[in-house]
A and B are shown apart, each in its own frame.
Chain A
């Protein structure tokens, strides 16, 4: 069983979707620092995705500092990412850029975007 939740949607690159799902589950605390991360083979089998793609996903998560690899143990969730807020926010840099681009394309103002974001934030905080 995979320790993070994901429903793959067609049309979007699979690696991006999985990387986002993993980051999200780390940020929300679904996966804890030090927790073992499944092997490339397990990721590929569980999601029925190509092992090459699964390998790229794990490599990207290691590069971005979400996972750390120890030779004997495999990959585990990094201790540091939940450390300081700046580092946590940097995890979202790419997503924020994408959000800003999409919002501009839709003709939203920064205030409107912030309001929409705040709505979403409150919705999640209620749970």
Chain B
């Protein structure tokens, strides 16, 4: 079963199209990172999935239920933490937990106590007197303590210091229930996400550019370097899977988006010495973002 599925999901705002036919599939048990630039539609997608916003068109299913029909039964199995979470700021941390607990049959008091200590949260302090990092941890705690089947995190790390981020990740792992636990995380913070996710999707202008396992993505992208005593001729047209071709004398560099160790550049350029270097998720996203910007200019021109 898929924890989340959307079909041709669209959402217009007054002058913009935030989602332009999004087909997102998050398999049950996945830790799915939804990446994308500011304004790519990540938050809009998550809000529609959580039924905080209605779609203009298309449909979305969450835990097998149409998103617009999410009721108390489903909500009790979903944890949602967003960067702009609204919290009852007049409450203390303890009051917040006391308030949330009765809503959830699966609330785990042992886990609650463990996370409270691990997050180093002052139970008697009012939320309005907490730092931003503390506040996010309090929000996360109140969403993890019932061990949700689906955890949805919207930019959870933005503005958090490294120690708080680490606490945050550790808390999420602590509450995890292997195999029956799905996480959808929208984020800019690529390092955390690269380690933690097993699926990545890239949103561009309200659509998915790709959606695959983190491993297959890291495997298919390579920065290829060719060196040859003779001259290297740029193939025309350049294969569509090659990006960022650069050439200077005997040296050529490009990014192969579908690298194949068996039949790769050393077949296309016999005699050249070839090195294929793995790329980090950050480098991959930069290459794709640059290409998107070029394409847009190309369309405009």
**Interface set of A (CB-CB < 8 Å, partner B):** 8, 10-15, 40-41, 44-45, 47-53, 55, 101-102, 105-107
Contacts and interface: CB of A to CB of B under 8 A. Distances in A.
Given A49-B195, A52-B29, A106 B273 contact: yes
B266 A51 contact: no
A105 B267 CA distance: 11
Per DSSP, chain A at the interface is: helix
Contacts of B166: 48
Nearest to B166: A48
Contacts of B283: 11
Contact of B176 (A8, A14, A51, A105): A51
Given A48-B195, A52-B178, A13 B29 contact: no
Interface of B: 29-31, 166, 169-170, 173-174, 176, 178-179, 181, 191-192, 194-198, 214-215, 218-219, 261, 266, 273-276, 278-283
A13 B215 contact: yes
Contacts of B215: 13, 15
Contacts of B179: 52, 55
B208 to A, nearest CB: 21
Given A13-B218, A49-B195, A53-B198, A44 B274 contact: no
Contact of B281 (A10, A48, A53): A10
B170 A45 contact: yes
Contacts of A49: 195-196
Given A14-B195, A15-B215, A48 B276 contact: no
Contacts of B276: 105
Nearest to B216: A13
A11 B31 contact: no
Nearest to A8: B195
Contact of A44 (B176, B214, B280): B176
* Closest A-B pairs by Cβ, 7 of them: A11-B280, A10-B280, A107-B273, A11-B278, A51-B178, A105-B274, A50-B31
Nearest to A97: B261
B219 A11 contact: no
A48 B278 contact: no
Most buried by B among A11, A44, A55: A11
Given A13-B219, A41-B178, 11 more contacts: A10-B191, A10-B280, A45-B173, A48-B196, A49-B195, A51-B181, A53-B198, A101-B261, A105-B274, A105-B276, A106-B273
A10 to B, nearest CB: 4
Contacts of A102: 275
A106 B195 contact: no
A50 B278 contact: no
A41 B172 CA distance: 12
B170 A50 contact: no
Contacts of B275: 102, 105-106
A15 B215 CA distance: 9
